[in-house]
A and B are shown apart, each in its own frame.
Chain A
């Protein structure tokens, strides 16, 4: 289908882009377009104006910053997945990005676009949440930081305000001893996760010292599996870990759709959390 009409501007700076967005509440930022264009083609969105931020050099690139990795909003999925800085500093991000969509979409879709879109079925929100990422929002007034836990507000809704764009994301590096895994369950010809689990696990001797678990598509926003995280503290690999992971779906409100009902999603969350935690702990 052909999208409805809209105006198009291509500002030359972040400040100018923010001004364009601040002055028109129906205007939308356009990054890679890999979520927005499908929406426009299906006429699920009717923006008055697209503000094309796709060429703003200030938002590009991946940067090593000591205790964290800074991923520019415009870094493409393909770039992030191949980045040595990401693979060394925050391997969970690289593991998950490699499972987003397909190669052609990864060439154009951006890290910032995926997060700003705030789709709970997207793979990156749960990862950002599990890693306690810090979101950097830019506006005409300057920059502000938003912790991951406060960024995702509702289905397709972030805490970015009108006139703000996501400039980049800081991913704190976890020190030695941490292992990572992203476990995604989807149909082969359809990349979106029915349920996904992002796990970061620190092991000491035969047991889990600390675990952080983010769940994809288990509610209107990505969620942390707090009950399972608490139960995993000190759990020994084997039965104790299995029992702890059975709490992964506690407190969640998973959606019902064509692919799965809530009870099936709960079941998946438990099983996939078990797999993700074992893999992250290096126990297959």
Chain B
């Protein structure tokens, strides 16, 4: 069985993995990151989105062995001071704008939102909608999600710009 080294939310792990083990299953079942859900069987929904070496990826569509040597950030690694610390500005914006109902899509939605700001820190509504095209929400109708991403972007901009 191949042995891999992987950093998840700042912690380094060494794991023996079956080649067919999906990254999302490694995260959930071996490393306890159940904050990252599985929403589909077809790589469509985006619920499982994480950051893989700084870019969004659908963790159901990556083998754990492919992530050997990589750095992964899940929804659980976003806040400061660990899981009980304060939320990331984008998480707070989703909370404040009521950008979720059942919450199943939210972890992936938040990761995709943070990813789209890498290329455009002040996105238009159109850019946000396109940036989230790989993430499906079956509850909210997207309006509050788009609003939350705008607000999260503003908060993140402020956090960067305040000395």
Number of residues of chain A lying within 8 A (CB) of chain B: 32
Chain A residue contacts of B60, Cβ below 8 A: 37, 41
Q: Which A35-68 residues sit within 8 Å CB-CB of chain B?
A: 37-38, 40-42, 50, 52, 54
B56 within 8 A of A: yes
Contact B41 A33 (CB under 8 A): no
Question: Count of chain B residues with Cβ under 8 Å from any Cβ of A?
Answer: 31
Q: How far is the CA of A38 from the CA of B44 in the complex (A)?
A: 10
A109–chain B nearest beta-carbon distance, Å:
9
Contacts of A42 in B (CB 8 A): 41-42
| B133→A37 contact, CB < 8 A | no
Tell whether, in the assembled complex, residue B49 and residue A41 are in contact, meaning their CB atoms are under 8 Å apart.
no
Residue contact A103 to B19, C-beta cutoff 8 Å = no
Interchain CB contact under 8 A, B58 and A104: yes
Q: A108-B57, A108-B61 in contact; A102/B134 too (CB < 8 A)?
A: yes
A5 at the interface (CB under 8 A from B): yes
Partner of B44, one of A33, A40, A107, A190: A190
Within the assembled complex, what's the spacing in Å between the Cα atoms of A42 and B44? 13
The listed residue (B55, B135, B136) touching A107 by CB distance below 8 A is B55
Contact A38 B18 (CB under 8 A): no
The proximity string for B residues 122-136 relative to A, scoring 1 for CB distances below 8 Å and 0 otherwise, is 000000000101111
Query: B112 interface residue, CB < 8 Å from A?
Result: yes
**Residue contact B61 to A34, C-beta cutoff 8 Å:** yes
A105 to B44, CA, bound (A): 10
> B10 an interface residue at 8 Å Cβ cutoff?
no
Q: Tell me if B116 and A52 are in contact (CB < 8 A).
A: no
Query: Which residues of B have CB within 8 Å of A188?
Result: 133
Evaluate whether A104 and B57 lie within 8 angstroms (CB atoms) in the complex, with A1-B41, A33-B62 already known: yes
Total A-B contacts with CB atoms under 8 angstroms apart: 87
Q: Could you tell me the distance in whole angstroms from the C-beta of B52 to the nearest C-beta in chain A?
A: 8
Query: Do residues B56 and A107 form an inter-chain contact, with CB atoms below 8 A?
Result: yes
CB contact under 8 A between A103 and B115, given known A5-B20, A7-B19, A41-B41: yes
In the bound complex, residues from chain A placing their C-beta under 8 Å from that of B87 are: none
B56 engages A37 (CB within 8 Å)? no
Would B19 and A8 count as touching, CB distance under 8 A? Answer: yes
Contact with B along A94-138 (1 / 0, CB 8 A): 000000011111011000000000000000000000000000000
Chain A residues with CB under 8 Å of chain B are 1-8, 10, 30, 33-34, 37-38, 40-42, 50, 52, 54, 78, 101-105, 107-108, 188-191
Residue numbers of B with Cβ under 8 A of A are 2, 18-20, 22, 25, 41-44, 46, 49, 52, 55-58, 60-63, 65-66, 112, 115-116, 131, 133-136
| Known A5-B18, A10-B65, A189-B44; further 17 A-B contacts with Cβ < 8 A | A2-B22, A5-B19, A6-B20, A30-B63, A37-B62, A41-B41, A41-B60, A41-B61, A103-B115, A103-B116, A104-B57, A104-B112, A104-B134, A105-B43, A188-B133, A190-B44, A191-B133
